[in-house]
Amino acid sequence: MSIVMREPGVETLTLASGDTVIVKRYLTAGESFAMQRAAIKYVAPTVPGEVATPELDPVSGGIALVLAYLVDWSFQDLDGRPLGIRAQPPALVRGILEQLPTEVYMELQAAIITHQALMKLALDAEKKTRPSFTAPDKILTSVAS
């Protein structure tokens, strides 16, 4: 059995405003690791000599999720010009996200969370149809030979 690799792909999500958001279909392991690291903040010690402790930060976690999946969107600036973010540095995209009205950002984040949940359901369904590995003794025998 081989490792299951996926074609990188994107999905287009439509928000209530009619704007569209292009997101990655799935994250790679590296993208997931980076997202998880970005969701951690370190709390300064309260006692001298102790080290800072890592803690999940829900705000950073939400932004990390959006940044991990977001590819581009149809948003426009105040003058009606496209506010393209494709291939822009994460710090720039984060700055733009922070300038969005709260309700727009929350809808964007909710759409990505829903997308993530739907992709998980699709993966779970795929696992049920994929042939499972049933002969570990043959591999062990060939390794021992």
Q: What is the pLDDT of residues 57-115, one digit of tens each?
A: 988 999 999 999 999 999 999 999 999 999 999 999 999 999 999 999 999 999 999 99
Does residue 54 lie within any of the structural domains? yes
Angle in degrees, CA 76, 119, 106, rounded to 5: 40
pLDDT score for 134: 53
Residue 98: which domain range?
A: 10-118
Residue 20 lies in a domain: yes
- Could you tell me what percent of the chain has a pLDDT over 70? 86
Which of 5-9, 79-83, 132-136 holds the top average pLDDT?
Answer: 79-83
Q: How confident is residue 139, by pLDDT bands cut at 50, 70 and 90?
A: low
pLDDT bin (cut points 50, 70, 90) of residue 131 is: low
Range 86-95 burial, b when 16+ CB lie within 10 A, else e: eeeebeebbe
40, β-bridge pairs:
56
The arithmetic mean of pLDDT across residues 33-61, rounded, is 91
Is residue 5 in a domain? no
Residue 139 in domain: no
Q: Mean pLDDT throughout 123-134?
A: 72
Domain count within the chain: 1
- Is residue 53 included in any domain, yes or no? yes
* Residue 96 to residue 78: CA distance in whole angstroms: 13
How far is it, in rounded angstroms, from Cα 36 to Cα 56?
Answer: 9
Q: What is the mean pLDDT of the chain?
A: 88
Task: Annotate 61-94 with three-state secondary structure.
Answer: HHHHHHHHHEEEECCECCCCCECCCCCCCHHHHH
Report how far residue 83's alpha carbon sits from residue 72's, in angstroms, rounded to the nearest whole number.
9
User: How high is the pLDDT of residue 7?
Assistant: 79
In a domain? residue 137: no
pLDDT at 2: 55
Is residue 57 domain-resident?
Answer: yes
Contacts of 65 (CB under 8 A, 6+ apart): 35, 39, 109, 112, 113, 116
Within a domain: 136: no
pLDDT at 1: 45
